[in-house]
Every structure is written in C-alpha cells, then in structure tokens.
Structure 1
Amino acid sequence: MKTVWDTIFLFFKVLAEPFVLCVLIMIITVIFNKKKKKRAVTISSIVLVLVIVGIGNGFLGKITANYLQKEYKNRTNSNPDIPAVIVVLGGGITDFNGIESPHITSYSRLVATTRLYNEVRKRQQSCTILVSGKGNSTITSEAVLFRKALMAMGIPDSDIIEEDRSENTYQNAKYSSAILQKQKPSHVYLVTSGFHLKRALLLFETFGITGVPYPSDYINTRLTVFPNSYNFAFTSFMLKEIVGIAQVHFYNSLGLNKSEKQVR
C-alpha cells in the first residue's frame, strides 16, 4: 500500500515542474483536437495560458511563498532560549571538477547557525550544533563539509555533532531525533531555509522533537509582465514543498511515517 501512495505523491511532485505540467496540458489539447472536441480544446488551451501566466508571472509563487514562510518571518529577531542544541539541515553538495562543497543554498544555513550559536555563547551558556545530512556524494558527507565550514567560521570542533546518514528530510528527522533524545536539550532550534521549515518541523514532531524554527533565508517570486524562468523555478520548489507537506500529514494519519524505508 505504501508503495502505491509513494508513486501517487511522486506523480504530483513531477507535476509541480511547470515544464512537465505545460507539456502534459499541450498533449491533452492535441488529443482533444484530433478527436475534434472543440470545446475541450478551448478549455485546455485556456488552462495552459492560465498556468503559464499564473506561474511565469509570479502570482502563484507569491501565494505559496506566503503560505510556507509568513509565520516564520520574525523568528530570527528574538533572543534565543538556553541551553540549546541547534540542528542545521543540509542543502545538498556541489561537485565542481572534483572539488566538493556545500550547495549554494546551504551557505545561508551555515551563516544563520553561526549567528544563533554566537548569540547563545554571548550569554556564556553552552550550545551544541548538530549537522544533519549525508547528501548526494559517495565521498564526503554534508555533515563533514558543514563541520569544516562551521569550524572555519570560528565554532569549536567540540561543539559540533555529526549525523551523516540521512539522505532526505524524513531521515534528517529520524536520525537526528535519536541523537537529541539522548541529549535531552531544553530547546532544539531547527535551522533551514524558510520554505523548507514547515515540512521539516512536521517531520521532527513525528519523531517526538518540537523544534523552534529559525529560518536561514526566504525565497519569493517577482510579479512581472512577461513570464520568466526565475518565477517558474522558484514556484516549482515551493509547489513540491506543498505536495511534501500534504504527504507528511497523510502518511502520519495512516501511521506510515514510521517506516524505515520511507523516502522524502
């Protein structure tokens, strides 16, 4: 049963790619045209235009960005509670000519983590950073790369813990929660991109960890007269997150999120 639901949600995530969605609508329009169903051709053509305009001009992106990020927009302005463990989620690895480094989306997370850590340490209180992520590399994990980057920013190696098995947000939550439950910190700060926070928090709660959201960055689209690739790309990111959030809620209702092989 779980495999069936995995396939269904994967299908919706594929449809969250505007290019795929537009191609699918065009194929449907051609089929209707061959069958000489003029009314259906007109409707599908209108839908295609609405999709291109709604996504490419930034309208849908504005709505999804607001839904995903609005409640976290002032989180970085408050004073942190202590003692604390900061969990920072990886954002991927870039391999350029054999040189591996954190993906560009990861650097804002590293900066936000360092800022939060320094705020806690200013009060002369202990603070531990848990870096979570294996990433897509078979050589160096995200956790190792994050650790090196954080140390370069002045954070002591003794204050950094690695979780280097997780390959997705579900596993970030699963493996990190096992470490956190042993440490029993008073507060757990979850550092990741604003558009990713809602789903990440839900998954950590699934494993018994109530995280304090700490957004590292935000994304948004721009309202434009003509459709552009920027709006298409960022809207796609956010639509996939919305599908992922729906998947978490649905799987939690069925008890499927406790599965070892579940992928996010």
Structure 2
Amino acid sequence: MSKVLTIFLFPLPVFLLFSLILFFGIKPGKSKFSFFLLWLFLYLASSSFIANSLLDGLEKEYPPVTIATIPKADVAIVLGGMIQTISSPIGRTELTDSADRLTDAVRLYKAGKVKKILFTGGSGLLLTDEFREANLAKQLFIDLGVREDDLILENNSRNTYENAVETKKILEKQNFKSTILITSAFHMKRSLGCFQKQNINVFPFPTDYRSIQMESGAFELYVPSASYLELTTVAIKEWIGYFVYGAKSYL
C-alpha cells in the first residue's frame, strides 16, 4: 500500500490527476479541446509504452555483446556523456545514468580485450566549457585500475560528430588499427554512423540499455511517471540528432 500511495503522490501523477478533474469543470469548446490535447500529450509522453517504443527503435539493432566474444583491439573508444560537468561539488567526478560506458571500458581493459582506453568528450554545454568530461574522467579511470600510460584523453569535442573527427586524428597519430566503440545502446546508431563516415574501423559494444521489459506486468508500468518522461525525452533527442546528422551528412 505504501508503494502504491507513494506513486500517486509523485508530482507528475498528481498533476495529471488534478488537471483531469479540472478538465471536467471547463465548459465545452475550443479551450476544453486544447486543454485535453495538452493533457493527452503529457500523459502519453510520460507513459512506459511510448517511452519504450521510442527507445526500442534505437536499441533493437544493437543487442548486448558478451566480453568473451569480443575480438581484441588496440584501443577502446569511450564516448562521453556519463559525467555531470556542472555538479555542485566542484572537481568531484559524479556519474550519470550512462555510467556503464565508463565501467564497461574498464572491464574490457582488465579482461585484456584492449591495450588502451581513449576517452573522447569535452563540454556539451552551450554557454560554457570550463569543465570538460575527459579532464574529470582521468582520475576515476586511474582509481579503477587503468594505468595512466594506457589512458588517452580527448577534451575538445562537443558532440558525437566531433567525437569521431577528433578521435580520427588521434588514431592516425598513434597508428591504431582496430578499435572497440563503447556508448549507450540508444546512442550507438548515430555514433556508429559518425565513426564509419570518418572511415574508422570499429567494433560496436553497446551498453547502458534503457528499454523496459513490458511483458513483466509490473504495476509501475501502468502509471505515468517522470522517469518515463525522461526516457521519452532521451529518445526524442536521439532521434532528432540522428535525422539532423543525416541531413548534414555527418553519417
């Protein structure tokens, strides 16, 4: 009972419930119809079905790969996006939901699948680049057992396209031939396209899966939530990025 009550006291379900009650008090007309459309949009965007449908379309092409089956490579390319660069504790490395990108890179390194780790990621913020992901990631990699000599940092790129462009320069300079590309499963479609466009030979290693087991029948699947709204937002952002990159010939 406590779990059910807690769910219905979350801000989003409360908002949807009370706005629906308010809807019935509005006189019929264009205003009521417009109100309903806005309510329906938010309800659907925060539902597990819509979130999962959008994510599954991105992730299904890249099923999980076991470390044992991965061929050895010269270097693992890790795309940034898992470090909070504007965290309130300045200088502390705070990981986000995409932390699997970093931890899986360390797992591949310790399993002997790669000799080096190349982390590519500067600042993705529009108005500031004071704090860059690669700089914050360095000590964490070292603390997790990666030798500093085996760590290569690229901190100038601001997006996935620039990740590929800047990485190409390093690969040519270091004469690396084989690579493993590590990023979130929902981000692999766009990332792989960018790296292949730069003629970089990569073996994709998707991680950080966000799609949901809808067949589980969990009660939470049927209640709109901010977490599903966030997943919908992530998926929409990625789909937009994919089509924009295609239009700009980045893929």
TM tier, shorter chain?
0.7 to 0.9
Residue 130 (structure 1) aligns with? 118
Q: How high is the TM-score relative to the length of structure 2? A: 0.74
In structure 1, the partner of 2:102 is 110
* In 2: Cα distance, 1:166 partner to 1:100 partner: 21
Q: Which amino acid aligns with 1:192?
A: T
Q: What is the aligned partner in structure 2 of residue 31 from structure 1?
A: none
Q: Is the 8 A contact 2:179 2:203 kept in 1?
A: yes
Report the 3-state secondary structure (helix = DSSP H, G, I; strand = E; otherwise coil) of the residue aligned with 2:156.
Answer: coil
Provide closer, same or farther for how the CA distance between residues 174 and 139 of structure 1 changes in structure 2, counting only shifts above 3 A: same
One-letter identity of the residue aligned with 1:233? E
Rounded Cα–Cα distance in structure 2 between residues aligned with 1:87 and 1:112: 11
What one-letter code is carried by the residue in structure 2 that aligns with 1:152?
A: D
| C-alpha distance in 1 between matches for 2:165 and 2:151 | 19
Indicate the residue corresponding to 2:243 in structure 1: 246
C-alpha deviations, 1:168-222, integer Å up to 9, x for none?
A: 2221111111112333434211111221111111111222224222123111357
Mapped partners of 2:46, 2:99: distance in 1: 27
- Judged with a 3 Å threshold, the aligned counterparts in structure 2 of structure 1 residues 103 and 144 are, in CA distance, closer, same or farther, namely same
In the comparison of the two structures, how many residue pairs are matched? 215
The whole-number CA distance in structure 2 between the counterparts of 1:130 and 1:106 is 17
Judge conservation of contact 2:164–2:195 (CA < 8 Å) in 1: yes
Pair 1:195 & 2:186 matched: yes
| Gap regions ≥5 residues in structure 1 | 1-18, 20-35, 259-264
Give me the whole-angstrom Cα distance separating, in 2, the residues matched to 1:88 and 1:50.
Answer: 39
How far the C-alpha of 1:146 sits from its partner, in A, is: 1.7
Q: What is the alpha-carbon root mean square deviation over aligned residues? A: 2.8
Query: Which SS does the other structure have where 1:96 is aligned?
Result: coil
Contact 2:73 2:179 in 1 (8 A): no
Structure 2 segments unaligned to the other structure (5+ residues) = 1-11, 13-27, 215-219
- Tell me, yes or no, if the aligned pair for 1:85 and 1:127 is still in contact at 8 Å: yes
2:62 maps to which residue? 72
Q: Give secondary structure in 1 for the equivalent of 2:76.
A: strand
Name the aligned partner's letter for residue 228 of structure 1: S
- CA distance in 2 between partners of 1:99 and 1:83 (Å): 32
Letter in 1 for 2:60: K
Q: Give the TM-score of the pair, scaled to structure 1.
A: 0.71
Deviation for aligned residue 1:106: 4.8
| 1:182-261 aligned within 5 A | 182-220=173-211, 224-252=221-249, 257=250
